[in-house]
Amino acid sequence: MGFLSKIAVRSPWLYRINAGSCNGCDVELATTAFIPRFDVERLGCKYCGSPRHADIVFITGPLTLRVKDQALRVWNEIPEPKITIAVGVCPVSGGVFRGGHSIEGPVDRYIPVDINVPGCPPRPQAIMEGVILARELWLRRLEKLEAGGGERRAALS
């Protein structure tokens, strides 16, 4: 079974949640995917439209009051095991929006963030490194899950 986990992590599907980002980070995420120089598809990644298909989820933006409930709801719809990557400094600290009246962040008050990719916006290379780190973390989780047996959700948290 360990063999199957090693195969599974070579097919990470990505999903983006925009939690009030200024769109700078989202543009960088698109750059990472579609520009020949960076191309995350070489890691087997694919951007998917539905949160139900996702394995790795990117969260951008400082989590504004307006999108908080929706963002949390979408995040909860992603099937386990999932890895959460916070992209940009906004999810970490609020970034340039820090202290704003409508900022509910940082994101990890509500969502267990696994990996931070800081930068405003981060470079595509950094995002790719985040994806590679996420794959390693995912593999460790799958192995833990196998060792743990039945308690899926418990073993994952």
Contact in structure between 93 and 103 (CB atoms under 8 Å): no
Residue recorded with tokens 């704003």: 100
| 69 in contact with another protein (CB under 8 A) | no
Query: Count of H helices and E strands in the chain?
Result: 6, 5
Residue recorded with tokens 């929006």: 97
| 79 in contact with another protein (CB under 8 A) | yes
How many residues sit close enough to another protein to count as binding (CB under 8 A)? 28
Interface of this chain with another protein, residues 116 to 135, rule: CB under 8 A: none
CA distances from 135 to 4, 70, 81, 87, 124 (A): 14, 26, 11, 16, 17
Site string for another protein, 16-55 (x = CB under 8 A): ------------------x-x--x-xxxx-x-xxx-xx-x
What, of another protein, ligand SF4, none, does residue 22 touch, CB below 5 to 8 Å by kind?
ligand SF4
AA letter at 35: I
Contact in structure between 40 and 131 (CB atoms under 8 Å): yes
**Candidate segments 21-29, 36-44, 48-56, 144-152, binder of ligand SF4 by CB under 6 A:** 21-29
What distance in Å separates the CA atoms of residue 114 and residue 47, rounded to the nearest whole number? Answer: 19
What is the contact surface with another protein in residues (CB under 8 A)? 4-5, 7-11, 13, 34, 36, 39, 41-44, 46, 48-50, 52-53, 55, 77, 79-81, 142, 152
What is the contact surface with ligand SF4 in residues (CB under 6 A)? 21-22, 24-25, 60-61, 88-90, 95-96, 120-121
